[in-house]
Structure 1
Amino acid sequence: MSLYTLQSIMIPLSAAKHNQVLSLLSSGLSSRDIKHQNGVSKSTVSEVAREYEPDKENHPGGHPQKLTPMDKRAKFVTVQNIRNVLKDDNIKTYPKKKRPYLSPKHRKARLTFALKCENWILEHWKCALWLDEIKINWFGSDGHKYVWKNKGGPLQEKDVESTVKFGGGHIMVWGCMEWNGVRIFCDVEGKMDANLYVSILEEYMLESIKELQIPEEKVIFQQDNGPKCTSKLASNWF
């Protein structure tokens, strides 16, 4: 079979056609209308238009904006209109970060603490004693665990988080630390309420203060805002 290479030969536009296209362009007709009237292609019309107005900016394309600057400040617009305006201002959506809830009272307390410690020097921080408790599980963790594996691959032992009835139990530990490291730790038996908290302070925290070799009046206690810490009993003890 013989193969022939077909080449399209562009026929130059006649002067008459060229002038007709220019006339129609100046009258405001679109490239599509000129194409239908003169039988020339849209690309040819575009070429003539570029010769006619070389400095004219090309239309960016797309649907023209529905909202005027005044509309953007109005209340009654569609959700999609709002998305488009935000997108035009380079505003994107991001997932919210999860953080502990801060009430106005919490925010005020944090700001007060930050302003109070703003001009602290190293000697102030060396006098700080940090108090807290933590739950330690005997088996497993309360958090999520992840594993890397091929999609659709067989289930292996490393892919499984074993569980036991009732969670396997846990212990609660109270402790304190300061500039030089960790101080006394103790087991917390039962529910940590204000009475138990104060008894731990009397028995273990006072002993930790003695190890600091810092006068009690200079020690700066740092604890969370849990109910037991802010209770009247604990506040009066301090």
Structure 2
Amino acid sequence: MEEVQDDGQSPSVWGSMQVSARGTSMIMRKVRDQPRTTRQDLVNDLKRAGITVSKKTISNTLRRHGLKSCSARKVPLLKPAHVQARLKFANDHLDDPEEEWEKVMWSDETKIELFGLNSTRRVWRMKKDEYSPKNTIPTVKHGGGDIILWGCFSAKGTGQLRHIEGRMDGAMYREILANNLPSSVRALKMGRGWVFQHDNDLKHTARATKEWLREKHLKVLEWPSQSPDLKPIENLWRELKVRIAR
């Protein structure tokens, strides 16, 4: 049976031991192919190969190679059509000056969990591989929760925040816009030429909602489906959730 290599410290100090080149190669290959593998999985794999190591030695080996255990990022589940639409959006706005984005009023709904946390999975990865598909968890919108909020903001600051009571339909969504969007625009002094952004939720794209937006002469930013990660308001929601979790 192959033993781990000592770095000069007592063999009984597992944390100071180093895995052989062969063992290290096995560890790195397994983690590269299966980022969700656990330290115990690696210990078992190496044991079957005749290499005895501890979980602490596994951790030290991975850290020496720039890997650490991280929560897998949650990203939208994308179909090929979604990918193409996102690419088109990026190309269409590639050369937009910063001033154009300062005119956008971003809006969104979010779920706030007051009791319990979203499930997470941990993966072994390097910092630069944070959003590699193997290191992320695909998600769908609004899987249920405790409260739902609607909010908006622009480069000038935050707008109104509205607690949505009950199930929101198209009529409620239009009522929320009517009671909160104009006042937010005025408070932030958006001026003329501002642009409204919301995603492609069915309530947002309903015929009655589109007609309401036309009647109000609102310019709407065309938005690719399944692209919450492109919206800066997601960073605002994250900050809000972090503060609530404290």
> Under a length normalisation based on structure 2, what TM-score does the superposition of the two structures give?
0.44
Q: Select the structure with the greater relative contact order (CA < 8 A; seq sep ≥ 6).
A: 2
> Under a length normalisation based on structure 1, what TM-score does the superposition of the two structures give?
0.46
- Report which of the two structures shows the higher radius of gyration computed on alpha carbons: 1
